Amino acid sequence: MRTEELSPRFLNLDTWPSEEVMRALYEGQLAAAAAVQAALPAIAAAGEEAAGRLSGTTGRLVYAGAGTSGRIGVQDGSELSPTFGWPEERLLFAIAGGETAFLRSVENAEDSIADGIAVIEKNDIGGDDVVVGLAASGATPFTVAAVNKAAERGALTVGIANNRDAPLLAVCDHPILVDTGAEVIAGSTRMKAGTAQKIVLNILSTLMMVRMGRVYSGRMVNMRVTNAKLRRRSEAMVADITGCEAGAAADALKATKGDVRLAAIMALGSSLSEAETMLQRHGGNLRAALAELGRTAERGMPERSHG
């Protein structure tokens, strides 16, 4: 596995001046980001199908992994609810070692095939669900077993690995290879491989949310308004989308308990019940709802042809 190789270039790394060590580490991070480019078509395909699978009301998004890869999955998934309003009950972390492993290493947990299978069966993963498995080596027994079992049960599966011909990539519906090669410190996959995995998840999960209508005109219209900063941001979004005054935006948001989508529709003249019905009719998609009102994304102007 290339991620385990010792690079001759860094054999005497510990004798180098600090500035040279930092430069080598920095260049490794740049290389990790560059390695993602070749995977973009695979990421797009996975994101499109995953969004379709999750567009209903019951499907869950599951992150499966161990160690660094598992914790990267936890970081990505935990940000989807506040950022995009993804329901927490439709988010699951299948991490080797359980919740304890979110914060600290659990020895030998990643080697258990039985635990990987059990976590999928225990949570009744099935055809409505999407499982994203991450492993730098692509051979972690827990992760490979979990993704394989999820696929057997009909779930849509995505595998993200940093080595070619990895078992994880062979058992999933959408294999995503990010070939980051040898690490500056041999086997320390929290570095290049980990960075590349986080970039892939940033792109993948965001694309899924965009395709499911949880982003409108570059804005986080499904975000949860939980503090003063986000209240100001939500008021600015409603005012910008509809062209209404700041006070009207604040009033609409108060009436909708901070729901930017409903507030925007109300600011354009609908009642709360009308806005709720319209948004529900369009599956929560603000763009589709505003199109029904004959409005575009910017400042409540009538729709214009782009032809």
pLDDT tens digits, 264-273: 999 999 999 9
Which residues participate in catalysis according to the annotation? 79, 110
pLDDT at 302 over 60: no
For residue 178, the one-letter residue type is V
pLDDT at 95: 96
| CA-based nearest residue to 23, from 33, 10, 37 | 10
pLDDT at 303: 44
For residue 133, how many other CB atoms are within 10 A of its CB? 34
pLDDT at 284: 92
pLDDT band (50, 70, 90) for residue 108: confident
Dihedral angle computed from the Cα positions of residues 61, 63, 64 and 69, in that order, rounded to the nearest 10 degrees: 160
pLDDT at 34 over 80: yes
pLDDT at 275: 96
H/E stretch holding 61? strand 61-65
For residue 50, how many other CB atoms are within 10 A of its CB? 27
- Cα(194)–Cα(29) distance, integer angstroms: 10
pLDDT at 301: 46
- pLDDT (tens digit per residue) in 186-217: 999 999 999 999 999 999 999 999 999 999 99
- pLDDT (tens digit per residue) in 119-150: 999 999 999 999 999 999 999 999 999 999 99
pLDDT band (50, 70, 90) for residue 305: very low
Pick from 78-87, 101-110, 229-238, 252-261: least confident: 101-110
Distance of CA 24 to the CA centre of its chain: 29
Helices and strands: H and E segment counts in the chain = 13, 5
pLDDT at 304 over 80: no
Q: In sequence order, what are the residues at sequence separation of 6 or more whose Cβ sits closer than 8 angstroms to the Cβ of residue 176? A: 39, 42, 43, 46, 158, 159, 160, 161, 169, 200, 204
For residue 159, the SS3 value is strand
Average pLDDT over residues 56-81: 96
The pTM (predicted TM-score) of the whole model is 0.91
pLDDT at 115 over 80: yes
pLDDT at 107 over 80: no
Mean per-residue pLDDT of the chain: 93
pLDDT at 300 over 90: no
- Cα(135)–Cα(71) distance, integer angstroms: 11
Q: Which domains does the chain have, with CATH numbers?
A: 2-211 (3.40.50.10490), 228-292 (1.10.8.1080)
Note the maximum CA span of the chain: 70
| CA-based nearest residue to 131, from 53, 33, 198, 195 | 53
pLDDT at 19: 97
